[in-house]
Amino acid sequence: MDQGQRRAREEQAIVLDYLQHGYPFDKRPSHKKTPIAQAVGCDHFTLLELVPKQGVFLQPNEMVYIGVEKREKIHHIQGKLAFDKLTVTAQAELEHIAMDLVKKNEQRYVEWFNKAQPVTIRIHQLELLPGLGKKHVKAILDARKEKEFESFADMKARVKLMPDPVALIFRRILSELQGNEKHNVFVDR
């Protein structure tokens, strides 16, 4: 993700887990606890803690509007959430939802493969994807010189032994969410 995209606000989020009675470790009396939704932003994979409006019951995998206009279901955004604060359910849902978001936004990621540049003299952005080494990077760069990629299928057809691009991107997103990476490519911090 380049600097121009940083700090961009999420407009939509997908609920990963809904805790109707708040967090179980919250020691306050139950009448003082607030329902909480753990969610992931659709554009920048920002992990968020959301507070629904009173009387609203959210479902995992439900898309909710969190932009600056009038929100139907979300009262406010409590804040960003660290990966290790996600519930077990939220972590399990994240895998399916993130893979689905990558597939739905295929053109965006194909464009990233077409435009990826060197990070330093020795490392190319493509090498930041787990499972892509120097040989794959060279093959991708050679293939895109001839003609830009049009889809993931086109990429797999033209690059010999190309690993699944969706899985590559997902593994990088997961690693960035876990805080394991020096350079974030797809996740807003």
Spell out the SS3 assignment of 100-112. HHHHHCHHHHHHH
The whole-model pTM stands at 0.85
39-55: average pLDDT: 94
pLDDT one-digit tens code per residue, 66-103:
998 999 999 999 999 999 999 999 999 999 999 999 99
C-alpha distances in angstroms, 164 versus 44, 152, 178?
A: 21, 8, 21
**Are 137 and 125 a contacting pair, CB within 8 Å?**
no
Q: Structural domain boundaries of the chain? A: 12-90, 105-177
pLDDT one-digit tens code per residue, 138-164:
999 999 999 999 999 999 999 998 999
For 105-177, CATH gives 1.10.150.280
Pick the CATH number of 12-90 from 3.10.620.30, 2.40.50.140, 3.40.50.720, 3.60.15.10: 2.40.50.140
Report d(CA 174, CA 170) in Å as an integer.
Answer: 6
Average pLDDT, the chain: 90
Q: Specify the pLDDT at position 4.
A: 43
Q: Specify the pLDDT at position 71.
A: 93
